């Protein structure tokens, strides 16, 4: 199964690059620190609900779509680790 692209890469390549914004400029406009945004666009941190709402307010997609991309990536990362050892939840005899 192919692992979905990290939403930070999409933000870096399809949004910031297309708009010609530096990380610092974008972070200032979004009201977050440059370090926070840098960690996301370099795929060291997740898109948080807070950042998703800020991106939506800035006119860059919907918060729901950013979080859906992040969730798809998170699930793929977990699946890549292998199946966890669990037992079925069944009624106690």
Block means of pLDDT (10 residues each) for the chain, length 93 residues? 92 97 98 98 98 98 98 95 92 89
CATH of domain 7-80: 1.10.260.40
Global pTM reads 0.90
The closest of 32, 91, 3, 87 to 47, measured between CA atoms, is 32
pLDDT at 2: 87
Let me know: does 26 contact 32? Beta carbons within 8 Å. Answer: no
Q: What one-character-per-residue DSSP string does 30-90 give?
A: HTS-HHHHHHHHTTSSPPPHHHHHHHHHTTSS-HHHHHHHHHHHHHHHHHHT---------
């Amino acid at each position: 199964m192919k692992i979905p692209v990290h939403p930070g890469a999409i933000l870096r390549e399809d949004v910031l690059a297309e708009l010609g914004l530096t990380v610092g400029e974008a972070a200032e406009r979004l009201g977050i620190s440059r370090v926070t945004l840098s960690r996301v666009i370099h795929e060291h941190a997740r898109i948080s609900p807070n950042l998703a709402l800020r991106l939506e307010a800035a006119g860059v997609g919907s918060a729901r779509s950013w979080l859906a991309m992040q969730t798809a990536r998170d699930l793929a990362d977990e699946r890549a680790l292998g199946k966890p050892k669990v037992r079925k939840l069944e009624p106690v005899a």
